[in-house]
Amino acid sequence: MSMALQVASASFCRFHHRNIKKIQATAAEDFAVLTSEVEKVKLGGSDLKVTKLGIGAWSWGDTTFWNDFQWDGLLLMPERKLKAAKAAFNSSIDCGITFFDTAEVYGSRLSFGAVNSETLIGSFIKERQQKDPTEVAIATKFAALPWRFGRGSVISALKDSLSRLGLSSVDLYQLHWPGIWGNEGYIDGLGDAVEMGLVKAVGVSNYSEKRLREAYGQLKKRGIPLASNQVNYSLIYRAPEENGVKAACDELGVTLIAYSPIAQGMSVLTGKYTPQNPPSGPRGQIYTPEYLTKLQPLLSRIKEIGLNYGKTPTQVVLNWLIAQENVVPIPGAKNAEQAKEFAGALGWRLTDDEITDLRSLATKINPVIGFPVEKL
Ligand SMILES: NC(=O)c1ccc[n+]([C@@H]2O[C@H](COP(=O)([O-])OP(=O)(O)OC[C@H]3O[C@@H](n4cnc5c(N)ncnc54)[C@H](OP(=O)(O)O)[C@@H]3O)[C@@H](O)[C@H]2O)c1
């Protein structure tokens, strides 16, 4: 990121922080900051309002995919990554972004050296609240593991998540992926969670159009709106536009939450990853030098458009997603700088011609081959 752009995003956050209106905290987890500048949107037909962009917390504490398979060791990296993740959390809020996405499996205790992402967020919230009452919207997810049966398993997993988060309710509870069986029971469990006051809104993730319609219909019978479907969606992975998921979300009034919205860091021209310098770890298997070479024309255009607005490529691709309407991207921030940069994706809009131009360049590249979760 150029120095000028870095300074611009840093001052945006400082300006924003000064303009935060505090409101009274009513309960331990009820901390409230109403932001005057970052626009909020309703999630589907629910009453929950979240910022137009959220922050993904998968990498916080994770050792399965991120962080080169290791979180902070006691001797090697004492608390270095923890401090960076905490700074990402605090900077997001300083910039007015208060929506965070986590899951019970992020930083799962089953993976060596991991620290649970929900536990980390719980501690960040607690620490922040002691200094500065702040309202955050937390989304977490139920893992549809094959040995979990019925609606009761949803409530019991949710209660465990709440305990790690140190909250009495979460804003959004999502089924992380469709189960091999028991899906009707899981949807019933979501409805129960709403009726028990444990969640404000419910959603699904990695749901195909067919499953989405079924889940929507099942909840509707109880008068409960399905708020969201969280799927992989970015400029270089536009499967939701092609498999009916985006159209069904728009038709039913279900918000599409876009995960991996910057293609796990690949569609950004930071110079970090190039054909000569591909990423390490699992991402290197997906984003090979050949693939990165094919991306160059698109990335050049993203960069060119960004320069016209004084925006970074990351901010351009996030703005492109928001411009699709009914889409809330949740990019993953590992540190304060990344979080501040994401905030700069808000408050402006690409022109219709630029949106079309970027899509047409993107269609010349085959989408990244990922796990076809939409087909589950
Ligand atoms: N429901 C699901 O099944 C599912 C699946 C995947 C993700 N998610 C959710 O979606 C969130 C975001 O997805 P994601 O983490 O897979 O991908 P992403 O948001 O597309 O990419 C995040 C990664 O990009 C890199 N990055 C961030 N800012 C950058 C910048 N300005 N310049 C260059 N690189 C930058 C960082 O990694 P480095 O710094 O290491 O490069 C960061 O961890 C997750 O945290 C999670 O909450 C959900």
The domain segmentation of the chain, as residue ranges, is 3-367
Ligand 1 atom closest to the CA of 272, numbered from 1: 33
Provide the mean pLDDT of the chain.
Answer: 86
pLDDT of residue 266: 60
236, 365 contact by CB (below 8 A): yes
Q: How far apart are CA 308 and CA 372, in angstroms?
A: 36
Ligand 1 centre and the CA of 262: distance in Å?
7
Least confident residue range of 94-103, 233-242, 260-269, 317-326: 260-269
Q: Are strands 170-175 and 32-34 parallel, antiparallel or unpaired?
A: unpaired
Q: Which among 274, 334, 335, 340 is the best mutation to test ligand 1's pocket, defined by most ligand atoms within 8 Å of the CB?
A: 334
Residue 205, SS3?
A: strand
Give the total residue count for the chain.
376
How large is the average pLDDT for residues 322-348? 97
How large is the average pLDDT for residues 23-42? 50
Q: How far apart are CA 137 and CA 92, in angstroms?
A: 12
Closest to 126 measured CA to CA, from 114, 115, 138: 138
Q: Is the pLDDT of residue 257 over 60?
A: yes
Superfamily for the 3-367 domain: NADP-dependent oxidoreductase domain (3.20.20.100)
Ligand 1 centre and the CA of 334: distance in Å?
8
255, 228 contact by CB (below 8 A): yes
Q: Is the pLDDT of residue 74 over 70?
A: no
pLDDT of residue 134: 85
Q: Is the pLDDT of residue 87 over 50?
A: yes
Q: How far is CA 239 from CA 209, 246, 313, 327, in A?
A: 12, 9, 21, 14
Q: What six digits make up the tokens of 142? A: 């139920």
How large is the average pLDDT for residues 237-255? 96
Question: Which DSSP helix (H) or strand (E) runs through 218?
Answer: helix 209-220
Q: Where is pLDDT greater, at 272 or 245?
A: 245
- Is pTM beyond 0.85? Reply is yes
Q: Is the pLDDT of residue 220 over 70?
A: yes
Ligand 1 centre and the CA of 121: distance in Å?
16
How large is the average pLDDT for residues 275-285? 80
Ligand 1 centre and the CA of 197: distance in Å?
31
Q: Around 209, how many Cα atoms within 13 Å sit in the side-chain half-sphere?
A: 12
Q: Which among 206, 338, 368 is the best mutation to test ligand 1's pocket, defined by most ligand atoms within 8 Å of the CB?
A: 338
- How many DSSP H helices and E strands does the chain contain? 13, 12
Query: Atom 47 in ligand 1: which residue has the minimum CA distance?
Result: 56
pLDDT of residue 2: 40
- 327 forms bridges with which residues in the sheet? 256
Q: Which residues are catalytic?
A: 106
Q: Which residues sit with their C-beta closer than 6 Å to ligand 1?
A: 56-59, 101, 176, 205-206, 230, 259-265, 268, 270, 272, 314, 330-332, 334, 338, 341
For residue range 142-195, list pLDDT tens digits in order. 999 999 989 999 999 999 999 999 999 999 999 999 999 999 999 999 999 999
Q: Is the pLDDT of residue 126 over 60?
A: yes
